[in-house]
Amino acid sequence: MGIEGKVVAITGASSGIGRATARLLAERGAKVVMGARRADILAAVAEEIVAAGGSATYRVTDVTRRADLVALVALAVESGGKLDVIVNNAGIGPISRFDALRVEDWDAMIDVNLRGVLYGIAAALPVFQRQMSGHVVNVVSTAGLKILPTMGVYAATKNAVRTISEALRQEAGPNLRVTEVSPGMTSTDFASSMTDAAAREAIEKRLAGIAMPAEAIARGIAYAIEQPDDVEVGSVVIRPTAQD
């Protein structure tokens, strides 16, 4: 029970929800193993955590490359002796209307948001099976709960992960926990991946009005992780009170 001493691998850990989760879990005694594409920012986050008395290692990780996820999990096992949790958090959201035909953006969302989660699961499961314990946390989105214009492909990738999470939960047996966390409007750099200027402006305006801090999602992830091994938090929805 609890978080102290657990080894947790986190993708998309250089910013937003991933960074907030790494900081919070390390503060509570976890050994965090961070993956993201930006080495300089990962190093800075790791230094902050260590300076505050926590434990953090990192590896440059592109979740669209299966070998990178295998290497991240291997680093966790090498540095911590085990892997207790993988948080599949990395995601992008270059949203747009379908008739804008931004097919390359569609492909990118499928590769990162869906394929990246599958690669994380594939990397972690053999370790969890050997240990006869483990926890998969998949970060999805409230965009999949209420479908809106411009969000079609993004919501589809997140709902695909929702389906994957439920099927994995049913297959998992008594030794593997599976949690899906659905953030609502959160103050992150989510809009930075958007190539459609109108969609980006609309999201940035919406975020400025009601977004909650990434730490709110980190606390939800921590809540799921800290439960006793025989308690599984299957789904957590966290949104600003003002969100429709």
Residues acting as catalytic residues: 154
How is residue 190 written in tokens? 């989510």
Distance CA 104, CA 228 (A): 43
Distance CA 243, CA 222 (A): 23
Torsion angles phi and psi, residue 153, rounded to 5: -70, -40
Place of tokens 């930075």: 192
CB 181, CB 221: distance < 8 Å? yes
Distance CA 46, CA 40 (A): 10
Taking CA atoms, 15 is separated from 117, 123, 236, in Å, by 18, 22, 21
What is the three-class DSSP state of 22? helix
How is residue 166 written in tokens? 């439920």
